[in-house]
Structure 1
Amino acid sequence: MRTGPEVAARVAAEQLRALPGDPEPLAFDIDWAGPVEHELPDEPAVQAACGIMHVHGRAAGRPQRLGVDYASTLAGVLAAQGVLAASLARARGAWFTSVRTSVAEAALLSVQQYLAVATADDDWAEHWQSGGRPPFTSRDGVRFELEVLHAEGWLRFWAELGAESGAVADGWWPFQQRFATAAANLPEALHRAVREVDYDTVVSVAALAGVSVLPVRDDPVPPAEAPACTFRALPGTARFAERRGVAPLDGIVVVESTRRIQGPLAGHLLRMLGAEVIRVEPPGGDAMRGVAPMSGDCSARFRALNDGKRAVELDVKSASGRRELCELVADADAFVHNWAPGKAAQLGLDAEDLSRVAPGLVYAWSSGWEPLRWPDPPLGTDFLVQAHSGLAAAVQPAGEPSAPSLMTLTDVLGGAVSAMGVLAALLHRQRTGEGVRVDSSLFSSAGVLPRPPRRPVLDQPLRTSDGFAVLSGTAPEQLAAILGVAPEAVAERIRERPSGFWSAELSAADVVVTPVCTDLRELAADPRFAAVLGRGTHVFPLAPWEFS
């Protein structure tokens, strides 16, 4: 089995060992750049070139490095997906022998929504400003994250705390849109309102308003270990004919009822592997379809995760809608949802219910907090999970306060982990005929990311005369000697010249200079990325696997 970058290869191997289905010992190959024609020697260079530093740094107003090997970890999960998909295809009669992916392609997948927004074909401009972002700090020094999905709860929470009504109104849009923009410039009056009360008061007011709050942990290590996915056998035995095709999942049918990012991304990855994905939406269609900016006749953000799926509108709250869903699932191989806890059982659409109409079904639930149990569970959303899981500490450098990245890290990784679990369950089903329930969550996916025991001191990108750059291949003291300056003068010296100058000047010393992407439209137009990006009414990453 071939390996690539250490973290990516280790994540792939660990996940494959932990998953059922007995995947075949196929070769997987992970490299840094893959088809991207760019010298990318390490994780910081990939984060710089592929837009991660730009998106993660929006809230601060300048590119910033993530303190975890996020792109490498996602590449490891993609490699595990590839091995599982190829093993499934082999069990169904195909003859794949190896799979390849890259850290750069994983990085592009992680920013695909932001890339779609930046390259949409309407005249809507990105509305984001740095500064003012959560977390909030109470009078007794507790830093906390806040989540609320509806304006009524937002208004009541801040009214109870006595915040200025104008600031409350002005803050709702940037707060609501932070998932889309990776920034949240909230009025200072909101921060001031919570600084005037203790955290216990915040918790009480939040409970009355239907708002979730959680402290931001300073320890980067997760508070509890959880497997990426858990699996449970379902009753019944699958009946399926042998299917053969070019794509690994050719002939596989997946029904999904999902929203936001985590669930739709799971279906998106399965579709890119060749599955037919039928997306169940409420009557009138998913409300996200109309959210600006538009790409053709649909939201760019929605299209980034849902293009290529077949949409079916039905009301699962009605008896007729539930019957229609059961009819769809009866002819499918897998059902994927990320409904709120308890909703599936309330509707009579839980795993045991659907396995009766579709024996051998793979049933996948992507949640926020599984397997954690809360007396009164908070909303299971990205930034709360980052706060509680320690990821908010791990992504920020030592010496700075813990804060979640406003790039949706666990939503993307959670969708990838869910798809990986579905693939493992499909492979097990193919070998045994048994149906499988797969549970995963944002919290369990956060645990896949390797964490240092202490928060790292991060080398951040250096400002040049025309932007920012990451320098790889040398220690700071060596770089100072090469430049002929004292170590404390390196940053000032680098700032004197453009990134291109330093790339040529330092190449003889085996220092790789990677300019930091600060405009996703420029990345989309860069010919070095042409082999991995598709183009329509917006630009999108192509499937990140090559099978042979």
Structure 2
Amino acid sequence: MKVLDTVHTRLTWAGPVDLPLHGEADVQAACGIMHVHGRRYGQPTRLALDYATLVAEELLDQGVLAAKIARIRGNPLDSVSTSVAQAALLVISQYLAAATAGDDRPEPLLPGGPPFVSSDGVRFEIESLDPFVWQCFWSVLCAEPIAVRDGWQSFLHRFATATCPLPGKLVDLVGELPFACLREVAAHTGMSIVRVLSRSPTGIPAYRLTPLPGTATLPAASATAPLAGITVLEVTRRLQGPLAGHLLTLLGAKVIRIEPPGGDLLRGAPPISGDCSARFLAVNRGKQVLRIDLNTAQGRSEVLELAAGADVFLHNWAPGKAEQRALDAGDLARVSPGIVYAWASGWGQEFGADPPLGTDYLVQAHSGLAARTPSLMTVVDIFGGLVCAHGVLDALLHKALTGEGSRVDSSLLSAAVRLSSGPLGTSSPEVPICTDLTELAADPRFAAALVREGCVFPCSPWEFST
């Protein structure tokens, strides 16, 4: 077998799920996507985009790259398979983990949510992760304090729950004002605001590879998993970056996750499984964790020392933060020639050095995705993690062939643009629709695709063979 011979691939609808799934609608219905996406509507609703299929195709492409990397390193993998059902379970993994955590605290899932509509008919999204900014924005608009208080928790938690029932007084208030006025208030108070575009930006590739100086060889394969023996240094938060690292973990890489002293705050986000957030575990289990203060000279030195022994450095810092910390691609390449340096950003270069907050729903709005198929599922965050991991694998294959390192630039926007070009489906499911993720987790027909480790997670979506 030559290292770049064709890798045999197999993509099915059901994979290890023992159900008669014959299309996107069946998969969305049976595997929980309709249930989660439909929370904002109060009933299971088909995501118009053929999302599970797009995710499965992305996973299959990644499997091919991983198999080729493994071959070069001495692991003669011949084939890879995955399924659309496994892709769907990966998509809902955070929601599935939360539903099966066994946490007694209730998680209300009432329907509702943005985009908002101004008095002149402009649909738009707003974003802040700071309660003070939220309060200031609505206070300038003379909103009732009780409505502002009640709206914040729902707004903040929509990333976790896929629904956002806001007080009607807030929705009505912005509906009485023109968009130009709302944009001015947002600028004054620090609120990010983005209008929903009807068309997607053009000329944005899924990711960009840029050569870095220096060369190095990848370590020889040390086990059967395709990336076994490869070390990834990950400094990420929220979902996009951690998911990219999680996919590399599932492919066998050793992922060392750097967190601040005291740990990532999202470790404490309910529901809790054992002593950690179930949602956090969904994309961070299996990683080695080190706690380092990157705002100190000693912390920077520790990271550079770790990077000297790593094959990949992955982060999703805000624009300018890497340069501020002197941990940009050039800094890492000097201590680790041939390294793959990956930045998973929100906007890429779309808004220059001072972009709006780079979060899922703002990117959905600007990319045109919210005009086609709006969702309070984190569809862009998830696909952004997939695109980032794909870029890293592409760069690792290049390194395996040439020894050369690369910088990998991907973004939520680049992921959303790719999603926006995907087909819209109209078919209806021919299988029963999942309405309870705890029942899905206990269904024996899903047993081969799931694993219980405190709460329930999907197994690796790939099967490799020699």
Q: Normalising by structure 2, what TM-score? A: 0.97
Query: Which residue is equivalent to 2:222?
Result: 244
Structure having the higher Rg: 1
SS at match of 2:209: strand
Q: What CA distance in whole angstroms lies between the structure 2 residues aligned with 1:316 and 1:232? A: 25
SS at match of 2:418: coil
Q: What is the aligned-residue RMSD (CA, Å)?
A: 1.5
- 8 A Cα contact 1:49 1:517, kept in partner: yes
Per-residue CA deviation, residues 294-343 of structure 1 (Å, 9 max, x unaligned), is 01110001111101101000011110000001111111100100000110
Alpha-carbon distance change, 457 to 276 in structure 1, aligned in 2, over 3 angstroms:
closer
- Which is bigger in relative contact order (C-alpha 8 A, separation at least 6)? 2
- 8 A Cα contact 2:451 2:457, kept in partner: yes
Tell me how far 1:451 sits from its aligned partner. 3.2
Tell me how far 1:374 sits from its aligned partner. 4.1
> Which residue identity lines up with residue 191 of structure 1 in the other structure?
V
Aligned counterpart for 2:399 among listed residues 415, 419, 429: 429
Query: Which residue is equivalent to 2:70?
Result: 89
Per-residue CA deviation, residues 366-425 of structure 1 (Å, 9 max, x unaligned), is 011124234741111100111111111222xxxxxxxx3000001001101111111111
- 8 A Cα contact 2:50 2:425, kept in partner: no
Per-residue CA deviation, residues 143-167 of structure 1 (Å, 9 max, x unaligned), is 1101111001000000011111110
Tell me whether 1:531 sits opposite 2:448 in the alignment. Answer: yes
Query: Which residue is equivalent to 1:175?
Result: 155
- 8 A Cα contact 2:73 2:218, kept in partner: no
Tell me how far 1:544 sits from its aligned partner. 0.5
- 8 A Cα contact 1:370 1:441, kept in partner: yes
Q: How does 1:388-467 map to 2 (within 5 A)?
A: 388-395=366-373, 404-449=374-419, 451=421, 458=426
> Which residue identity lines up with residue 339 of structure 1 in the other structure?
W
Q: What CA distance in whole angstroms lies between the structure 2 residues aligned with 1:249 and 1:92? A: 9
Per-residue CA deviation, residues 448-507 of structure 1 (Å, 9 max, x unaligned), is 226369xx6845x6xxxxxxxx2xxxxxxxxxxxxxxxxxxxxxxxxxxxxxxxxxxxxx
SS at match of 2:101: coil
Q: Normalising by structure 1, what TM-score? A: 0.83
* Bigger mean CA deviation after superposition, 116-125 or 245-254: 116-125
SS at match of 2:233: strand
* Bigger mean CA deviation after superposition, 382-391 or 109-118: 382-391
Tell me whether 1:545 sits opposite 2:462 in the alignment. Answer: yes
* Bigger mean CA deviation after superposition, 526-535 or 372-381: 372-381
Tell me whether 1:521 sits opposite 2:442 in the alignment. Answer: no
SS at match of 1:66: coil
Q: How does 1:380-395 map to 2 (within 5 A)?
A: 380-395=358-373
Query: Which residue is equivalent to 2:45?
Result: 64
SS at match of 1:514: coil
- 8 A Cα contact 2:127 2:362, kept in partner: yes
Q: How does 1:335-350 map to 2 (within 5 A)?
A: 335-350=313-328
Per-residue CA deviation, residues 95-128 of structure 1 (Å, 9 max, x unaligned), is 1111000000000000000000000022122222
SS at match of 2:431: strand
Q: What CA distance in whole angstroms lies between the structure 2 residues aligned with 1:108 and 1:410? A: 16
Q: What CA distance in whole angstroms lies between the structure 1 residues aligned with 2:291 and 2:108? A: 31
Tell me whether 1:377 sits opposite 2:294 in the alignment. Answer: no
> Which residue identity lines up with residue 195 of structure 2 in the other structure?
P
Q: What CA distance in whole angstroms lies between the structure 1 residues aligned with 2:4 and 2:208? A: 17
Q: What CA distance in whole angstroms lies between the structure 2 residues aligned with 1:100 and 1:182? A: 30
- 8 A Cα contact 1:69 1:450, kept in partner: no
Aligned counterpart for 1:110 among listed residues 68, 77, 91: 91
> Which residue identity lines up with residue 393 of structure 1 in the other structure?
A
- 8 A Cα contact 1:23 1:84, kept in partner: no
Q: What CA distance in whole angstroms lies between the structure 1 residues aligned with 2:201 and 2:406? A: 28
Tell me how far 1:139 sits from its aligned partner. 1.4
Per-residue CA deviation, residues 202-223 of structure 1 (Å, 9 max, x unaligned), is 111101111111111234xx22
Tell me whether 1:147 sits opposite 2:127 in the alignment. Answer: yes
Tell me whether 1:218 sits opposite 2:188 in the alignment. Answer: no
SS at match of 1:540: strand
Tell me how far 1:243 sits from its aligned partner. 3.1
Identity %: 57
- 8 A Cα contact 1:81 1:420, kept in partner: yes
Tell me how far 1:268 sits from its aligned partner. 0.3
Q: What CA distance in whole angstroms lies between the structure 2 residues aligned with 1:440 and 1:107? A: 22
Query: Which residue is equivalent to 2:342?
Result: 364
Tell me whether 1:52 sits opposite 2:22 in the alignment. Answer: no
Q: What CA distance in whole angstroms lies between the structure 2 residues aligned with 1:344 and 1:436? A: 16
- 8 A Cα contact 1:24 1:83, kept in partner: no
Tell me how far 1:59 sits from its aligned partner. 0.3
Tell me how far 1:292 sits from its aligned partner. 0.8
* Bigger mean CA deviation after superposition, 375-384 or 340-349: 375-384
> Which residue identity lines up with residue 46 of structure 2 in the other structure?
R
- 8 A Cα contact 1:364 1:438, kept in partner: yes
> Which residue identity lines up with residue 538 of structure 1 in the other structure?
C
SS at match of 1:235: strand
> Which residue identity lines up with residue 95 of structure 1 in the other structure?
P
Tell me how far 1:238 sits from its aligned partner. 1.1
Query: Which residue is equivalent to 2:245?
Result: 267
- 8 A Cα contact 2:210 2:406, kept in partner: yes
Q: What CA distance in whole angstroms lies between the structure 2 residues aligned with 1:362 and 1:544? A: 24
- 8 A Cα contact 2:368 2:420, kept in partner: no
Paired residue total: 463
Q: What CA distance in whole angstroms lies between the structure 1 residues aligned with 2:219 and 2:14? A: 39
Q: What CA distance in whole angstroms lies between the structure 1 residues aligned with 2:388 and 2:139? A: 39
Alpha-carbon distance change, 537 to 375 in structure 1, aligned in 2, over 3 angstroms:
closer
Q: What CA distance in whole angstroms lies between the structure 2 residues aligned with 1:427 and 1:527? A: 38
Moved over 6 A (4+): none
Query: Which residue is equivalent to 1:31?
Result: 12
Q: What CA distance in whole angstroms lies between the structure 1 residues aligned with 2:148 and 2:248? A: 41
